[in-house]
Structure 1
Amino acid sequence: MPLLDFPALPTLLSDSEKTAAGAYHKLLLDKEEEGVLPDNLYIKSTERTRENEAVAMQMARALGLPVHKVYSYGEHHENGRVIGSILMEAMPGEMLDEVHEGMTPEEKETVAAELKHYLGIMRSYSNPWGTTVCSVIGGSLYSTRTCPRIFVPCDDEAAFNTFLHYCCRPTDEGYHGCIPFKEAQRRAHLMDNMPHQIVFTHGDLWSHNILVKDGHITAIIDWETAGWYPEYWEITTPQRWQSPDSFWPKTLKFITDDKYAEEFQCEIALWELSADAIAGF
């Protein structure tokens, strides 16, 4: 089935527009705690929040995903740092990781089926930036599992693979991985021969970033790492710090028919080779 054309991106804001909105957001935040506002509004404001996140949310919502409605994006400065902020509609629900144990088997199946459906929607659109691995707006990406955590666009998956190997140790000196060093190197480079579609990706699809209520997904939140990535990234990234026997890795494997089992083994090797470097960022 041919891929659909991704919707047109909104016009990016000027610096003056960001500053004005940021000042307004800060005024609202100074009056409330934790970003929760009256009139069913919410503000997310962090050092990592950037316009790409707001646009990613707008695009995801345009595709029909359950995502906060964005009203404005702004920036202000604190102690020499740029603080981004998003004024959005508040969404009902509780974090999936906090309520999963108390859900019925039928509710768990429903949530898994809904998540599979939403991922299918995201993967049914072509990358407007061609083969480039980049943010939703075509710029730099932010990820908690790369070093550096902010990195420039990669022309294609091959360039992205090269970037991922940037922080891998070149020798076994000081290596303490569970996989023998030479085997880890061999296994990590197997990804070079596994071509993938570059798809619209949340990038941090942990269970705490999914809100549920009455056995249904009400929102997918925290799109700060969103962008265009190889298709396996969405599934393997959340498994890095979790036991393979915990419910979330099992859920991700289930909704994709464990399609990325080989990629996950490559990822494990890559993580062991670059563990010290990534931990330092």
Structure 2
Amino acid sequence: MNLARAMGVPAPRFISYGEPPPDYHDIYAMPSILMTRLPGTELDRLEPDEVDLNVIREDLVAILASMRRFASPWDDAVCGVDGGGIYGPLIPWVPLPPFMNEAMFYDSIGRLGGLSRTRQSEPDLAAAIEAFFALPPHAIVFTHGDLQKHNIMVGDDGHICGIFDWEAAAWLPEYWEVSIVALLHGNRWGAFLNETVTSKVYDAEVQGNRAMYCLLGDSLQ
């Protein structure tokens, strides 16, 4: 969160992090984060006539551009914010280790999902995934990783005033921010990001991620 704030993104300020003590055996106990409060209302709680999507689009374009102006300190590695492991949608629940490049990242996801075993059982989907993996390399950029409407706060003036829930943030391929939200058919917000915010620049990647989700979904979050 603090890295996002340093980039000019309206994010909460991180204050502290805590975990239950080792001898605390409640299976529902989870780590907790203390952060500053964001103003506004969650975007998914607003009625359509309360939101100007043109304003939201302009704000998101500016926010994503601000995030992408900063080069990764880890070169071409696909990794966490601190250079460590990554997790989130379309990544197995157990965090993946950092990868030296995008190709190694894809290879790991394919192996974990059993892509080699499904070439005979689902040849069309397998072919779509392999075509997706064969696309030219992408820039590795700072990514929120779960840019859903419920993670976006809108102020009284109609502008985005905060983005929170940065647990999936990482240095990821540039299309990831859009395709991870747009991978499910019928997701109107995902379609908005793909078609309106980024003008379908990553449409091939969205289609590839959809195929990967259909084929490998049981192995992923």
Indicate which of 162, 166, 188 corresponds to 1:219: 162
Could you tell me which residue of structure 2 aligns to residue 130 of structure 1?
A: 75
Q: State the one-letter code of the partner of 2:40.
A: G
CA distance in structure 2 between the aligned counterparts of 1:213 and 1:151, rounded to whole angstroms = 36
What whole-Å deviation, never above 9, does each CA across 1:225-257 have from its counterpart, x for those lacking one? 00000011110001234515x244224431111
Aligned sequence identity (%): 33
- Where 2:20 maps in the other structure, the secondary structure is strand
The 3 A distance-change label for structure 1 pair 96 and 252 is: farther
Shift of residue 147 of structure 1?
2.1
Indicate which of 63, 67, 70 corresponds to 2:7: 63
Report if aligned partners of 2:183, 2:190 keep a CA contact under 8 Å in 1.
no
Indicate which of 178, 181, 194 corresponds to 1:235: 178
The 3 A distance-change label for structure 1 pair 159 and 236 is: same
Greater mean deviation of Cα atoms: 235-244 or 216-225: 235-244
Could you tell me which residue of structure 2 aligns to residue 4 of structure 1?
A: none
Moved over 4 A (4+): none
Shift of residue 151 of structure 1?
0.9
Could you tell me which residue of structure 2 aligns to residue 103 of structure 1?
A: 50
Q: Which runs of 5+ in 2 are unaligned?
A: none
Shift of residue 59 of structure 1?
0.5
CA distance in structure 1 between the aligned counterparts of 2:150 and 2:191, rounded to whole angstroms = 13
Indicate which of 49, 59, 73 corresponds to 2:17: 73
Indicate which of 164, 168, 172 corresponds to 2:114: 168
CA distance in structure 1 between the aligned counterparts of 2:31 and 2:118, rounded to whole angstroms = 40
Q: State the one-letter code of the partner of 2:155.
A: K
Q: Which runs of 5+ in 1 are unaligned?
A: 1-56, 176-180
- Where 1:153 maps in the other structure, the secondary structure is coil
The 3 A distance-change label for structure 1 pair 269 and 252 is: closer
RMSD: 2.0
Could you tell me which residue of structure 1 aligns to residue 63 of structure 2?
A: 118
- Where 1:125 maps in the other structure, the secondary structure is coil
- Where 2:142 maps in the other structure, the secondary structure is strand
CA distance in structure 1 between the aligned counterparts of 2:215 and 2:152, rounded to whole angstroms = 31
- Where 2:186 maps in the other structure, the secondary structure is coil
**1:172-187 equivalence runs, <5 A:** 181-187=122-128
Could you tell me which residue of structure 2 aligns to residue 34 of structure 1?
A: none
Larger radius of gyration, structure 1 or 2? 1
The 3 A distance-change label for structure 1 pair 277 and 133 is: same
The 3 A distance-change label for structure 1 pair 273 and 242 is: closer
Could you tell me which residue of structure 1 aligns to residue 39 of structure 2?
A: 92
CA distance in structure 2 between the aligned counterparts of 1:94 and 1:168, rounded to whole angstroms = 41
More contact order relative to length (CA 8 Å, sep ≥ 6): 2
Q: Name the count of aligned residue pairs.
A: 214
CA distance in structure 1 between the aligned counterparts of 2:143 and 2:190, rounded to whole angstroms = 17
Report if aligned partners of 1:235, 1:253 keep a CA contact under 8 Å in 2.
no
Indicate which of 209, 218, 221 corresponds to 1:276: 218
